[in-house]
Amino acid sequence: MKPPLLLDKPYAVYAQENIVYGLFNNTLNLTCEVEANPPPTIKWNPRNVGDIINESRHKSVLVLNMTEDTPGKYQCTATNELGQFKKEFIVEIGTEPEPPINITLIEAKPTSLEIEIDMPNITIMEETNMEPKWFVIEYRPVRKEEGEWYSKIFNIGSEELLLTDLKKNTKYEIRVATKNLAGLSDYYSTIFETSLAASVHMSSSIFIVIVNLTILLTFRLWMA
């Protein structure tokens, strides 16, 4: 026998920021996701603005087209017979971040590529909150038919930017964008190739032994 389901009024399970930024002429998603039993009814205010995608009875997404008239306050309300939950969003138009200016290959191995990304010198007022915070790195093998992009996100300032689980001796198309709270920059693209075999690093102690053996063998041949 299954235990009875607990009844509860709506409460949030996804904490999207109250202030949300979008890029001009792009789309912006506002997500209202709650847990409740019985399942809630979710409504958006103001009405008839944007496209509403109800992914489930507990999750609703308002898709806005960012224009000059879009900034303002939006509210989702989730209601069931036990109560309601309200979430307010303040939408603002943000600034597109500057893209990377160069990608350098640090080390190529059979199954990985370590890269370094150069950023332009940017001076941004702190109160704008639009400085780039992340690198979005997408990569795929170079083929005649374009394949699916793989994606990784790194914090800007990460000590190591490493792409792993790659195929050996394979060229990869790599593109990098910066990301801030409003969205993505343009991509900077390049091509790097994984190595055929792992590089061999010889320790100094082994090297000394080999040198000594070589000298000894040479001396014996000379004395013979």
Q: Return the pLDDT at 33.
A: 94
- Which DSSP category does 224 fall into? -
Residue 197: the pLDDT is 78
CA distance 105 to 115: 5
Distance of CA 95 to the CA centre of its chain: 18
Tokens of residue 74, six digits: 């939006």
pLDDT in tens, the chain (224 residues): 444 567 888 888 887 889 999 999 999 999 999 999 999 999 999 998 999 999 998 999 999 999 999 999 999 999 999 999 999 999 999 999 999 999 999 999 999 999 999 998 766 545 568 899 999 999 999 988 888 999 999 999 998 999 999 999 999 999 999 999 999 999 999 999 999 876 534 344 444 444 454 544 454 555 55
Q: Do domains 8-93 and 102-193 have the same CATH topology?
A: yes
CA distance 19 to 31: 13
Residue 220, pLDDT score:
56
Task: State residue 68's pLDDT score.
Answer: 94
Beta bridge partners of 20: 91
Q: Which amino acid is at 117?
A: I
* Helix, strand, coil tally for the chain in percent (to 5): 10, 45, 40
Tokens standing for residue 222: 């000379």
pLDDT of residue 39: 92
Output the CA angle 123-16-177, nearest 5 degrees: 40
Q: How confident is the model at residue 209, as a pLDDT?
A: 42
Contacts of 217 (CB under 8 A, 6+ apart): none
Q: In CATH, what number does 102-193 get?
A: 2.60.40.10
Question: Could you tell me which CATH number the domain at 8-93 has?
Answer: 2.60.40.10
Phi, psi of 108 (to 5 degrees): -110, 125
Q: Where are the domains of the chain?
A: 8-93, 102-193
In angstroms, the CA 129 to CA 135 distance is 17
The pLDDT value recorded for residue 77 is 96
Kindly report the pTM of this predicted structure. Answer: 0.75
User: For 135, left (φ over 0), alpha (ψ -120 to 50), or beta?
Assistant: beta
